Amino acid sequence: MIDKRIASMREALTDVAPGSAVMIGGFGSSGIPFELIEALRQHGAGDLTIISNNAGVAEEGIAALLRDRLVRKVVCSYPRSQGSIWFERLFEEGAIELELIPQGTFAERMRAAGAGLGGFFTPTGYGTKMAEGKETREIDGRGYVLEHPLSADFALVRAHKGDRWGNLAYNTAGRNFNPVMAMAAEVTVAEVEHLVELGDLNPESVATPGVFVNRVVAQEGMN
């Protein structure tokens, strides 16, 4: 019997050790696993590397992890949205490390990790600071940068619906980074708005097949 359901956000994250690399899905405030992030904050493991497109705004989501000084390093494409006060403060203090990656390269590096590839040549960033220290090559007259897979110990993702096998379906643009992160991490934990019965999801609309997901938790309304 395959049953990936976990009773609570807290229980789904008990094995996150200090120093872990944690991917967090979402873009802006869309498709963000807010309840899992809050549970991660309460769990309290520090020295984290957070891999997520943005770095949180106000006191919400990743911003709360930053405020509580649980994060050593942020890997992202766009850390400063309007209101990213905690990221900006820590950055100015020199209290946080930033690895900035062009957004497409960021997504593709995670996909490469999930797809078992050793790296890829992308034209993005060629001839810019982003290519510094990296292998570059001309292919058919165009410049490319070699980029490597990006994996993590955990991925926290958010879906609209999920079943006990870990199949996930997303709402509108809430999909964004969630599918590639689910592929790329050692352990993928999914926060779902609706836990549905096996067979309730349209098999043609499952955007994350259950094989990529290890744990499924229904939202608790904790935010």
Partner 1 sequence: MQRLTPEQMAERLAQDIPDGSYVNLGIGMPVMVANFVPEGRDVIYHSENGILGVGPTPAPGTEDPDLINAAKQYVTLIKGGCFFDTAESFAMMRGGHLDIAVLGGFQVSAAGDLANWATDNEKYPPAVGGAMDLSVGAKAVYVLMRHTTKDGQPKILDECSYPLTGAGVVRRIYTDLAVIEVTDAGLQVVELHDGNSFEDVQAATGTRLLPPAA
Among 60, 88, 153, 220, binds partner 1 (CB under 8 A): 88
For residue 64, which phi and psi values (nearest 5 degrees)?
A: -70, -35
Give the per-residue contact string, 24-53, with partner 1 (x = CB under 8 A; - = no).
---xxxxx---------------------x
* Binding positions for its own copies, 182-221, rule CB under 8 A: 202-205, 207
- The option from partner 1, its own copies, none interacting with 77 (CB < 5 to 8 A, set by class) reads partner 1
Q: Do the beta carbons of residue 37 and residue 10 sit within 8 Å?
A: no
Least gap, CB of 139 to its own copies (angstroms): 4
Q: Which is nearer to partner 1, 41 or 126 (CB)?
A: 126
User: Closest by alpha carbon to 180, among 81, 77, 47, 82?
Assistant: 77
CA distance 1 to 164: 10
CA distance 110 to 23: 10
* Total Cβ atoms within 10 A of residue 196: 16
- Using CB under 8 A as the binding rule, whether residue 58 contacts partner 1 is answered as no
DSSP 39: H
DSSP 133: T
Q: Which is nearer to partner 1, 41 or 80 (CB)?
A: 80
Least gap, CB of 120 to partner 1 (angstroms): 11
Q: Is 113 helix (H, G, I), strand (E, B) or coil?
A: helix
For residue 9, which phi and psi values (nearest 5 degrees)?
A: -55, -45
Q: By the criterion CB under 8 A, which residues form the site for partner 1? A: 1-2, 27-31, 53, 77-82, 87-88, 91-92, 98, 100-105, 107-108, 110-111, 113-117, 122-130, 163-165, 167, 170-180, 183, 198-199, 201, 203-204, 206-207, 209-212
